[in-house]
Amino acid sequence: MNWDAIGAIGELVGSAAVVITIAYLAIQTKSNTKATQSAAVAQSRLATTGALEAIANGGESLAVYYTGLRDPDSLEKERRGQMLSLDTAGGREW
């Protein structure tokens, strides 16, 4: 076996290693993307649950929420911020 053949084999092995590494990184990136999306969904559900619990427990949060739904312009600046944090439906302009 001569040095040219050994060099060709080395290049072939190196090329295969690069392809395998790129495939591995693609798989890891896809897995990381799924994990990040799942975490975002879980965080969103947690925030929604917190807002719904605040409304369901009644009291001031319930009053602010219903007043904000009926007449958002009647809310003071601080209450408007509270309404925004309770409003999980989105898409509304306050």
Query: How far is the C-alpha of 7 from the C-alpha of 11, rounded, in Å?
Result: 6
Q: What letter does residue 2 receive in the DSSP assignment?
A: -
Q: Where are the domains of the chain?
A: 1-43, 57-87
pLDDT, one tens digit for every residue, the chain (94 residues): 799 899 999 999 999 999 999 999 999 999 999 999 999 998 888 877 877 777 777 777 778 877 877 787 888 877 877 777 776 554 445 4
CB 68 within 8 A of CB 55: no
Helices (H), 1-94: 3-56, 59-70, 77-86
This prediction has a pTM of 0.50
22 alpha-carbon distance from chain centroid: 26
- Which residue reads 């807002």 in tokens? 51
